[in-house]
Amino acid sequence: MDNIYTSISSVPTSFVGANGEIRLSSVLCLMQDAASVHASLLGLGFNELYPKNRTFILSRTELKVCGKLPHWGERITLQTWPRGLERLYAFRDYELSLEGQTQPFLKASTAWLLIDTVNRRPVRPQDMFVGITTRDIEALDADSPHKLGWDEALPAYETRKARASDLDLNAHVNNTRYIDWIGDCVAQTQGLDAAISELCINYMGEIHPGEDVRLAMGESTKGSICIQGEGAKRNFAAELKLA
């Protein structure tokens, strides 16, 4: 049986930007919430794992916009499924479409690490998935989400400070805020009308309250835009393309 979780939600005003379209960070909020609910249904949610000194953290996200993004008030059908395991990674994929339509407007793949909450180190997730059916269907491709490198020569752009409003229940900057920071860099350099069509981000280290994160931004040899964040250590690396 296909192990697919489906949620349907309406786009509130707080989820849209100046152009009336849903922000990519808001899409990631929907994805994160759906993953949390589905993981709990599978016995792998926060409340189920934390007493065992285990929790999942997001390591990589890759997405592709393949249709018009929804506007305020439109309804989204989100489907997500566990794709499989490889070494320390558990993969989860997504397809999002407008309610009643079959063609998705966005596809995404994510990679998660199972962490020992005592020593903060990854552990193998295979034992936790006994009896759980994975779905061997890729939203993007078999290698997604891709591992990104680090470019020491990327030009410095600006510095952001981690504020209280950036934090989640783990008391570090939530992964969706990274996407807002990336979106700000794109809007400031490419204009408010610039639209991201593809994005891959690797989460490398936690950002703690009050930490200054130096953002670097430049163009890769492939013509895509690279954005990196580094505070006390490397925090994230992202590569994106514009529509």
What is the mean pLDDT for each group of 10 consecutive residues in the chain (243 residues)? 88 95 97 96 94 95 97 98 96 97 97 94 93 92 95 96 91 93 95 95 94 95 92 96 95
Which H or E run contains 221?
Answer: none
Burial of 164 (0-12, 13-18, 19+ CB in 10 A): exposed
Q: Are 53 and 95 within one domain?
A: yes
In the structure encoding, which two tokens stand for residue 67, read together? 């249709």
Can you tell me the distance from the alpha carbon of 122 to that of 130, in angstroms, rounded to the nearest whole number? Answer: 18
Nearest alpha-carbon partner for 219 in 180, 185, 177, 179: 185
Q: Are 117 and 15 within one domain?
A: yes
Nearest alpha-carbon partner for 90 in 49, 151, 118: 49
Q: Is 147 within a domain?
A: no
C-alpha atoms less than 13 angstroms from C-alpha of 204 in its C-beta half-sphere: 19
Q: Are 34 and 122 within one domain?
A: yes
Instruction: Tell me how many degrees the CA angle 238-79-33 measures, rounded to the nearest 5.
Output: 65
pLDDT in tens, 87-129: 999 999 999 999 999 999 999 999 999 999 999 899 999 989 9
Number of structural domains found in the chain: 2
End position of a domain, from candidates 110, 129, 148: 129
pLDDT in tens, 146-157: 999 999 999 999
Can you tell me the distance from the alpha carbon of 54 to that of 122, in angstroms, rounded to the nearest whole number? Answer: 9
- What is the residue type of 144? S
**Residue 171 has what DSSP assignment?**
S
